[in-house]
Amino acid sequence: MSVAFTFPGQGSQAVGMGKALAEAFPASRAIFAEVDAALGEKLTTVLWEGPAEALTLTENAQPGLMAVSLAAMRALETEAGIKLEHDAAYVAGHSLGEYSALAAAGSLTIGDAARLLRIRGRAMQRAVAVGAGAMAALFGLELEAAREIAAEAAQGQVCEAANDNGAGQVVVSGDKAAVERAVDIAKARGAKRALMLPVSAPFHCALMQPAADVMAQALHEVTVRPPAVPVVCNVTARPITAPAEIVQRLIEQVTGTVRWRESVTYMANAGVTAFYEVGAGKVLSGLVKRIVDAATGTAVGTPADVAALKAARAPINVTI
């Protein structure tokens, strides 16, 4: 059996996430302390006590979700004896989760990942005036159909496919009026559902170019190492290991489409049959099961999940 570890993106956050890990495992607790120290503030207070409005802020949600993912990964390492370089064929993360994947694989330090995600969150929020942009989810349409709808809806504005999540779920992003037109067109074209999303900014579209410029500078100021495991990146849906390419792809990711369906399909075609979602929520596990019929998706974000994977440790062997 070949295994991949995946890391969730924004939207999976919830007040209290990761607290049980910190209480159960000293190694997980150390990750949260490291993130707090890197940011110079008690992000853990927001994670565990809220309020929800503060946690939902992009500048908090992004490093917070990474912290939970790395706390869960560290628990797997110390409690279940898992080592990515031996037990995983690939790692991958959805949007900000790509930073979590890189940190888990040793390409970025946890401190650098936290600081980069704080910068990324703030830059993405500031790139577009509040209320000027929007995102919408289109259900029952494949990527090309969604792209055609977005192009028709643009009418001189920005409207692009932001996330190809798989199973007929595509998210479009751009100027608010254009995204609203895309919703209407999608409904008229037979989409099962089309709805506006409660997000604070239009992520993963051309409107995010100012944030991409900020990240270009920030990423060139940190050390990026070759990851211990190939990282299947969002914008190419192919594995990368060279530090220079990692930096370039992370810059492109700010404005580019998150090609999650293709990423999962690539890993499955390369022999991966078990996907472990490390961190908060179960979104990616659900998507895996709908993208690849023969694959299993398992969420690992609580002490009970860690214990279950430890008990099932024997089957985890990489064959590539």
Catalytic-labelled residue, pool 2, 28, 95, 100 = 95
**Beta strands at 169-175 and 193-196: parallel, antiparallel or unpaired:** unpaired
Q: Clarify whether 95 is annotated catalytic.
A: yes
Quote the tokens at residue 169.
């779920």
Q: How many other CB atoms are there within 10 angstroms of residue 144's CB atom?
A: 11
Total residues found in the chain within this entry: 320
Task: Compute φ and ψ for 135, nearest 5 degrees.
Answer: -135, 150
What is the maximum span of the chain, computed from C-alpha positions, in angstroms?
56
Q: Clarify whether 100 is annotated catalytic.
A: no
Task: Compute φ and ψ for 187, nearest 5 degrees.
Answer: -60, -40
Catalytic-labelled residue, pool 69, 204, 263, 285 = 204
Residue appearing with tokens 């690939």: 90
Quote the tokens at residue 69.
């993912």
SS3 state at 255: helix
Quote the tokens at residue 42.
């008690």
118, amino acid identity = R
Q: Taking a C-beta distance cutoff of 8 angstroms, is the pair 9, 94 a contact?
A: yes
Residues tagged active-site? 95, 204
